[in-house]
Chain A
Amino acid sequence: MYPIYDVAVGPILIVLGIIVIIITAVVIFLVVLSIKMIRKIKKEREECAA
């Protein structure tokens, strides 16, 4: 007879894992967008300098 928390822990870990993956993906997406924004600023600066 397993204690009840052994039964419940699995699904909770899966849900937590999915949440961690989603949040990480969102943050990576934001970082990529920010890098693109910095490149845009760089391009704008080069155009102004030219």
Chain B
Amino acid sequence: MFFIIYNVIAFGLQPFFGYFADQKNLYFVYILLGLLLPLVALQMISLGVIAIILATLGNAMYHVGGGVLSINLYPNKAAPAGFFVAPGALGVLAGTVLANGYSSPVLYISLIVIVTLLALFFIFKSHINNHTYQPIPKNFIKIIYLILIVVLIRGLIGTMLILTWKSEIWLLLALTLGVFAGKFFGGWLGDLFGYKLIGIGGLVISFPLLILGHQMPLFGILGAFFFNLTMAITLFIIIQNLGKYKGTAFGLTTLSLLIAYLPSAFGLKFEFGIFYEIFIFISVVLGAYLLNLALDSHRENIKGV
């Protein structure tokens, strides 16, 4: 239950946090608050829901602020979007493992947060670039909704995926590394070889691997890698098409992920079988088709400019 509340606040409120940050240029303040609030929450763990709410607000702020500032470091490149988001996959696993461990990690995590906070404040501050952006294109509504549906489909596949072996901690770690690598390198590879090849190609290749990965870890891990190559590309495309509203763009994708997460959170799950395979197949084909439409529209805009 707490986990659902966490996701609703952290993911659901990001579009509005993003919009506010876009209007007032609060990205760096968001980064600092995004670290400070979880730090305070950590000291108040015994208060339960209050600590969770503080941590989630910090999560939402950090995601928006850090995301936009990362992308601003290298404008017109998809790579930074992946570099920024990917470590979150490792963080979620580390958080789960630490929270279920025998010793309390509060002190160590607090120290890491304080060091990060100081480093960002004193070092990163001088590297912040101007908030440059492309004008919003005429067809931006079409591109945004296409990308959000792709993110939704990808989120649905991710939450419905059946991998029988992931209760084994080392295999779960390998799977998480696969997810991390896919998110991390997706944007970079897209910048090098084209967004269509990497984004759509990654989705299509992931289908047989994810099906085979039901019982075979190697295929599952490879499937997770290829499946996640799309993430940085969709994030980059939506950001490129919302002008100065980069934080809003970040937030809209997380709202999509929240919608995708709800069915599984409410207990709706597939049994492995033909219906599951058909679901994954249709989702991948639809996702690839819609991403193709979005990328075509985006390319028309670039040519137009």
Does A42 lie within 8 Å of B258, measured CB to CB? no
Report B's interface with A, CB cutoff 8 A: 1, 4, 8, 12-13, 15-16, 19, 136, 140-141, 144, 242-243, 245, 248, 251-252, 255, 258-259, 262, 266
Name the residue on B nearest A17 (C-beta). Answer: B266
Q: Which residues of A sit under 8 angstroms from B15, Cβ to Cβ?
A: 30, 33-34, 37
Does A23 lie within 8 Å of B16, measured CB to CB? no
Complex CA distance for A27 and B245, rounded to whole angstroms = 22
Does B19 lie within 8 Å of A37, measured CB to CB? yes
Does B252 lie within 8 Å of A34, measured CB to CB? yes
Count of inter-chain pairs, beta carbons less than 8 A: 44
Q: Is the interface of A mostly helix, strand, loop or mixed?
A: helix
Does A37 lie within 8 Å of B243, measured CB to CB? no
Report A's interface with B, CB cutoff 8 A: 19-20, 23-24, 26-27, 30-31, 33-34, 37-38, 41-42, 45
Q: Which residues of B sit under 8 angstroms from A26, Cβ to Cβ?
A: 8, 12
Given A30-B13, A34-B15, 5 more pairs with CB closer than 8 A: A34-B16, A37-B15, A37-B19, A41-B136, A42-B141
Q: Return A47 CB to nearest CB of chain B, in Å.
A: 12
Which 7 pairs from chain A and chain B are nearest by CB?
A: A30-B12, A45-B136, A34-B15, A20-B266, A37-B19, A41-B245, A34-B255
